[in-house]
Amino acid sequence: MQYPQWIWHNGTIKPWAEATTHVMAHALHYGSSVFEGIRCYDTPDGPVIFRLNDHNQRLYQSAKIHEIDIPYPLDQINAACREVISANGNTTDYLRPVAFRGLGGFGLSADTPTDVAVATWKMGQYLGAEALENGIDACVSSWQRFAPNTIPAGAKAGGNYLSGTLVAREARRLGFGEGIALASTGLLSEGAGENLFLVFDGALHTTPVSAALLNGITRNSIITLARDAGIDVIERDLPREYLYLCDELFMCGTAAEITPIRSVDGRQVGAGKAGPLTRRLQDLFFGLFNGTTQDKRGWLEPV
């Protein structure tokens, strides 16, 4: 990773190396942070941030769930995202706003100040240079998602991602591009850090938010674009074996974008490559940034 020059930290732009926190910060010990991942894209009209306000609204929702008080208004965090992209010369394509409990007390319920930062860097293709075109091989993880009455999956919280880390590291160790987790019910949940879509007979099927998954912004975007295009979208419980039987399969997220899955557990999915509906949805999604898909909902925020 090549570090950019500037970062926004507790209200000011400062050099990357100066954005530090104490080793006794609450979040470092207990995972008490909330964050967002936001993509930036070049367009014919200049650089844009994709669904900036929607992402940062979710940041505040996650903070509310975990009783983390963000000491800045939403508009200021939105402005900080634009500011840090500009400060780094519009050369980065990923934003990471994060709010976390800092130094000021010890113990699970300690009252601590909230530190806030917005970092940016060059992400590229998260799951590999050829993943969007050629797809990846995935596996079902031995690790399950947490039960819904234990940790709130609807919050994008740092501690939640220990689950995804186990799923992802197991998959890489076994030679797969990404892992897929089951819910505590034994039904499908999501990828290590991505939502899932399966295609049967020209319709999109995706797991419900009750399956211990994060209701992704990219997931919502795909559902919206698909329905605009007359494609049926069905949110339903899905058993593991449907991964092997579906016509097409892909995972999505801010980092992964729309990544086809060509096999699961060594079983070929469909034709073993990105299928026609996956390609169509990729075209609709990336068309937002090259001008071939109309931005009907104001999702593109100029830097």
Statement to judge: residues 38 and 179 lie in one domain:
no
- Assess whether pLDDT exceeds 80 at residue 131: yes
Task: Say if 160 falls within a structural domain.
Answer: yes
Tens of pLDDT, residues 174-197: 999 999 999 999 999 999 999 999
Tell me: do 171 and 98 sit in the same domain: no
Task: Decide if 299 is inside a domain.
Answer: no
pLDDT bin (cut points 50, 70, 90) of residue 94 is: very high
CA angle, residues 97, 162, 78, in degrees to nearest 5: 10
In-domain check, residue 93 = yes
Place of tokens 């399966």: 198
Q: Based on the domain organization, do 116 and 152 belong to the same domain? A: no
**What's the distance, CA 73 to chain centroid?**
23
Element holding 251 (H helix, E strand): strand 248-253
Whether 295 is covered by a domain: the verdict is no
Q: CA 216, 77, 293 angle in degrees (round to 5)?
A: 45
Q: How many domains does the chain have?
A: 2
* One domain, residues 34 and 179: no
Residues serving a catalytic function are 156
Write down which residue in 121, 140, 162 finishes a domain: 121
d(CA 262, CA 257): 16
Residue 45 within any structural domain of the chain: yes
User: What pLDDT digit, counting tens, does each position of 194-245 carry?
Assistant: 999 999 999 999 999 999 999 999 999 999 999 999 999 999 999 999 999 9
- Residue 201: give its domain's CATH number: 3.20.10.10
Q: Could you tell me if residue 110 is inside a domain?
A: yes
Q: Which of 219, 214, 196 is nearest to 285 (CA)?
A: 219
Identify whether residues 180 and 266 lie together within a single domain: yes
Domain assignment of residue 184, given as a range = 131-290
Q: Which residue, 86, 121, 156, sits at the end of a domain?
A: 121
Whole-prediction pTM: 0.95
Residues 87 and 193 in one domain: no
Last residue within a domain, chosen from 121, 145, 171: 121
In a domain, 142, yes or no: yes
CATH code for position 75: 3.30.470.10
Residue 302 counted as domain residue: no
